[in-house]
Amino acid sequence: MGRVLRETLKPSTSSASATTTSTSVTETVNGSHQFKITGYSLSKGSGIGKYIASDTFMVGGYLWAIYFYPDGKSPEDNAAYISLFIALASEGTDVRALFELTLLDQSGKERHKVHSHFGRTLESGPYTLKYRGSM
């Protein structure tokens, strides 16, 4: 059983002015995830809109997943492009994130930047994911 202690403060009758301050601290959490697709060439031709998903991983207290569409996500891609997304995999509202997606070729030497939010202007700020499944 717990105890509650209560202290009563009496207002000061002094006429001296008081100065107050406050601080807001925004934490930034960094993380990364490597999603390796073994046998990539076998996944090519699986069909537009078909994807391969990574395992979920945690960054900043939220679960995330990477979705890779070898033939593109939509018919406009005409199977000529791949599509790559990061998605919020846990419940959350207005999760703000900056992210960068890169592809590494099979030799492990060539890095190809696919998309980065780190170059965004301060006014546009981080990307906001509104709900589970937002990409």
**pLDDT tens track for 25-39:** 877 788 888 888 888
13's tokens: 């009758």
pLDDT at residue 12 greater than cutoff 70 = no
Count up the domains in the chain and report the number: 1
- pLDDT-derived band at 55 (thresholds 50, 70, 90) equals very high
Look at residue 127 and tell me if it is in a domain. no
Look at residue 83 and tell me if it is in a domain. yes
pLDDT at residue 54 greater than cutoff 90 = yes
Look at residue 60 and tell me if it is in a domain. yes
Give the number of C-alpha atoms closer than 13 A to the C-alpha of residue 103, restricted to the C-beta side: 14
- pLDDT-derived band at 24 (thresholds 50, 70, 90) equals confident
Closest CA to 104 of 38, 17, 28: 38
Look at residue 55 and tell me if it is in a domain. yes
pLDDT in tens, 13-23: 556 678 999 98
The residue among 112 and 60 whose pLDDT is bigger is 60
| H or E, element range at 95 | strand 95-97
Per-residue pLDDT at 2: 47
Q: Which domain holds residue 86?
A: 40-116
Q: Exposed/middle/buried for 117, CB within 10 Å: 0-12, 13-18, 19+?
A: middle
Per-residue pLDDT at 29: 82
Look at residue 18 and tell me if it is in a domain. no
pLDDT at residue 83 greater than cutoff 60 = yes
Residue partners of 56: CB distance under 8 A and separation at least 6? 63, 64, 65, 89, 90
